[in-house]
Chain A
Amino acid sequence: MIHPIRAGVFALAAVVAGCAGNGEATRDVIQNKGSDTLVNVAQAWAEEYAKVTAETAVAVSGGGSGTGISAMINGTVDIANSSRRMTDSELEQARANGHDPIEYIVGFDALAVFLHEDNPLGDMSLDQLADIYGEGGTTERWSQLDVAPPGCPSDKIVRVSRQNNSGTYFYYRDAILGDQRDFKLGSLDMHGSKDVVDLVENTPCAIGYSGLAYATEHISMPCIRASEGGDCVDPTVATAIDGSYPISRPLFMYTAGEPEGAIREYLDWVLSDVGQCILHQKGYAPRAVLDCS
C-alpha cells in the first residue's frame, strides 16, 4: 500500500527536478508502471537515468503487475513492468486495441520463503510448501514439520499470501502447485511484498513469500529443495543467476510495439551493464553474470 504512493512521489520529484534543470527544451516523459516487485528498482533506474540525460524523464508508478498490464492493454503507458508473463488472452486484448506488446526480460528474482526469525526450520522442499499452501494439502501445524517455533503455542501455521491478482501470487502458485491447483482458503492475503515481510516479522507462527529483495535481517529464509532428497539451495542473487534456486522468475518490461527514440534508448540503458548493476544492488539477479564492483 505504501509503494504506489512512494512511487508517485518519486515520479513527481523526477518530473519537477527535470523541469527545473531544463528550461525550455522539449523533453520526453516515459510513463512506466506496474509490478510492485520491480517498483523499487524501476525508481532507481529512473533517478539514475535523470543524471545520464536531461532530455528524458521517466515517471514510475507501482500498483502491481496487473495494473501495468491493463495500462498496456489500454495504451496509457509506454513501458509496463510485470513480474509475470502476459497471458495469451491479455496479449490478444492488447493487439485488438492496436498495441503489440514486445517483451523484455530485465532481470531475475528469487522468490524467498519467509519465516519468523525465531523459527528453527531451515530447510524446506517444494512438496512441503505445496502441502502447506495447496488446496487439499494436509499440513496445518508446525509439529507436522517437526518444529516448535518459539512464541507459537497454538502450533498453527499462519499462511501469509498476496492478493489474488498479484504477479507474485500467480508465479508462486504455479511454481509450487502447478497450473491446475489452487491455494487453500484462509491465507492472510497482504497487499504488497512489504506487508508480507512486516507481518511475518511480527508473527512467530507465520510463513510467507515474496521477492528476495524485500527480505530484512529480522526474517529467516529456509533453503529450498526442488525434490525430496535433492540439494537444498539458499535464496541468493547468485543462485538465481545460475538457475539452481528452484523458485526464481524472470522480471519483464513490455513496450507497445518496437520501441523507438527515447524509449529505445532507455531500455538499452536498462539492459546495459550500468542498468543491470543498479538492479543487482537492489537485490535482484541481473540477466548475466557481471562485475559491478
Chain B
Amino acid sequence: MNAAADRRDLSWWVDKVAQILVLAGGLSAIVFIVGIFLFIGREGAGFIFEGFSLREFLLSPRWTPTSNHNPTFGALALIAGTASVTGLAMVVAVPFSLGAAIYIGEFATGRGRETLKVLVELLAAIPSVVWGFVGLSIMNPLIVRVFDAPVGLNVLNSGIILGLMAAPIMTTIAEDALKAVPDTYREAAEAMGATRWQVILKVVLPAGRNGLVAATLLGVGRGFGETMAVLMASGHAVNLPTSPFDAVRALTATIAAELGETAEGSEHWQALFTLGIFLFLVTFTINFLADVFVRGGLPGRRRRGRRPVASANP
C-alpha cells in the first residue's frame, strides 16, 4: 500500500475507524474468553490449591458442602448426572436431527424446504425455562402415570427435554454438512444407477461424516452446558443413576441452585467455581473437537473445499 497516494478525506477516516472497530470486535472474543477463564480460575483457586482432593472430587458421590461436621465435595454423582442426561438426550436427538437434516437437505424442495428450515430455527428459539416448564408440568405426571415411576422428574424426563432442545442446532449443522457435499458426487452415483437411498447412504453420509460428528458433538456440548431446563426436569437429586427413572443432578444445576445463597469466598463458593472450571474444560474440549471435525480431521490434514461451520454453542 502506498500511503502517499491516499487522499485523507472523510472516507479515508471512516475506513480507518471502521477497521479499528472491527479489529476490536474480533479481539474482544479472545479477551472475554481469557477473562472468563481467569475469573473462574481465580475464584476457584483457593479451593484447588488448599482443601482440594482430586480423588474426592472425581471419585466420591458425596456432595455435602454445608455439613456441620464433615463437608465433602465429591462431584462424581453430579458428573454422572450430567453425563446420563446428555447421553439420553443424544439417543433422542441424533435420529431426529439426522432424519430432519436428510429430509431438508436431500428431499424437500421449494416452499416446503424453506418453511421447514424456518420452523427448525424457531424451535431453537424456545427459551430453556419454557422447556423446563414442559418437563415439570406435562412430562412429570405423564411419566408417573405411564411408567408407574416413583417420581417423574428424572433422567428420562430431562433427557427427552434436552434432546428436543439440542435437535434444532444439530439439524442445522448436519444440514450444512450435507450441503457441503459436492453435487458432482451425487450425480456420479446416480449415473452409476444408484437409487436415491443408495446415494444418501453410500455417498452423501460418508462424505459428510465429519460434519455430522461435529453436529453431534455440539449437541453434547449444548447438553453439558444447559442449566435451567435440566434443573427443573431432572429432580435435582445427588444420586448415581442406575435406571432412566432415577432422579439426578447436573453440574450446571448445582451451581445455579447453590451459588446465590453461598457466602462469597467460602470453601463452598470456591468448590462451586471448581465445578465451573471443570464444566468449562469439558465444553471447551467438546467444542474444540467439533471444530476439528468440521475442518475435516486434525489440523494440518485439512481437506480443501470444506467451508467451516460456525460454532453454534455460545
Contacts A66-B261, A156-B150, A165-B262 hold; do A180 and B68 have CB atoms under 8 A apart? yes
Q: Pick the residue among A158, A163, A179 that contacts B258 (CB under 8 A).
A: A163
B72 to chain A, nearest CB (A): 9
Q: Which residue of B lies closest to A180 (CB)?
A: B69
A43 to chain B, nearest CB (A): 19
Contacts A186-B237, A190-B236 hold; do A63 and B249 have CB atoms under 8 A apart? no
Contact in complex: B264, A70 (CB < 8 Å)? yes
Residues of chain A lying within 8 A (CB to CB) of residue B249 = 189
Contact in complex: B66, A164 (CB < 8 Å)? yes
Residues of A42-78 whose CB lies within 8 A of B? 63-67, 70, 73-74
Contact in complex: A63, B261 (CB < 8 Å)? yes
Interface residue? B141 (CB, 8 A) = yes
Residues of chain A lying within 8 A (CB to CB) of residue B144 = 151, 202-204
CA distance A92 to B247 in the complex (A): 39
How many of chain B's residues have a CB under 8 angstroms from any CB in A? 36
Q: Which residue of B lies closest to A186 (CB)?
A: B239
Interface residue? A182 (CB, 8 A) = yes
Contacts A154-B148, A163-B258 hold; do A188 and B263 have CB atoms under 8 A apart? no
Q: Which residue of A lies closest to B232 (CB)?
A: A1
Contact in complex: B150, A186 (CB < 8 Å)? no
B144, B231, B268: most-surrounded residue (chain A CB, <10 A): B144
Interface residue? B238 (CB, 8 A) = yes
CA distance A183 to B66 in the complex (A): 11
CA distance A182 to B74 in the complex (A): 15
Interface residue? B67 (CB, 8 A) = yes
Instruction: Tally A-B pairs: CB < 8 A.
Output: 97
Interface residue? A79 (CB, 8 A) = no
Interface residue? A215 (CB, 8 A) = no
Contacts A154-B150, A164-B64, A202-B141 hold; do A188 and B237 have CB atoms under 8 A apart? yes
CA distance A203 to B235 in the complex (A): 12
Residues of chain A lying within 8 A (CB to CB) of residue B247 = 158, 186, 188
Interface residue? A187 (CB, 8 A) = yes
Contact in complex: A66, B151 (CB < 8 Å)? no
CA distance A185 to B254 in the complex (A): 14
Residues of chain A lying within 8 A (CB to CB) of residue B150 = 152, 154, 156, 158, 203, 205
CA distance A188 to B246 in the complex (A): 10
Interface residue? A282 (CB, 8 A) = no
Interface residue? B165 (CB, 8 A) = no
Interface residue? B203 (CB, 8 A) = no
Residues of chain A lying within 8 A (CB to CB) of residue B148 = 153-154
B251 to chain A, nearest CB (A): 14
Q: Pick the residue among A90, A182, A188 that contacts B70 (CB under 8 A).
A: A182
Contact in complex: B239, A166 (CB < 8 Å)? no
How many of chain A's residues have a CB under 8 angstroms from any CB in B? 40
Contact in complex: A188, B235 (CB < 8 Å)? yes
Residues of B46-74 whose CB lies within 8 A of A? 61-70
Interface residue? B162 (CB, 8 A) = no
CA distance A163 to B140 in the complex (A): 20
A204 to chain B, nearest CB (A): 8
Residues of chain A lying within 8 A (CB to CB) of residue B260 = 63-64, 66-67
Contacts A164-B66, A202-B140 hold; do A185 and B61 have CB atoms under 8 A apart? yes
For the complex with contacts A154-B148, A185-B63, A188-B151, 18 further pairs of A-B residues with Cβ separation under 8 Å are: A63-B260, A66-B260, A66-B262, A70-B263, A154-B149, A158-B150, A163-B257, A165-B262, A185-B77, A185-B238, A185-B239, A187-B238, A188-B153, A189-B237, A191-B236, A199-B151, A202-B152, A205-B150
Q: Residues of A with Cβ closer than 8 Å to B? A: 63-67, 70, 73-74, 90, 93, 151-154, 156, 158, 163-166, 169-170, 174, 179-180, 182-183, 185-191, 199, 202-206
Q: Residues of B with Cβ closer than 8 Å to A? A: 61-70, 77, 140-141, 144, 148-153, 231, 235-239, 247, 249, 257-258, 260-264, 268
A and B contact pairs by CB, cutoff 8 A, 29 listed: A64-B260, A65-B261, A66-B261, A66-B263, A67-B261, A156-B150, A158-B151, A163-B257, A163-B261, A166-B261, A179-B69, A182-B64, A182-B67, A182-B70, A185-B64, A185-B237, A186-B237, A186-B238, A186-B247, A187-B237, A188-B235, A188-B236, A189-B257, A190-B236, A191-B231, A202-B141, A202-B152, A205-B150, A205-B151
A-B pairs with lowest CB-CB distance, top 6: A66-B261, A165-B261, A205-B150, A156-B150, A186-B239, A154-B150
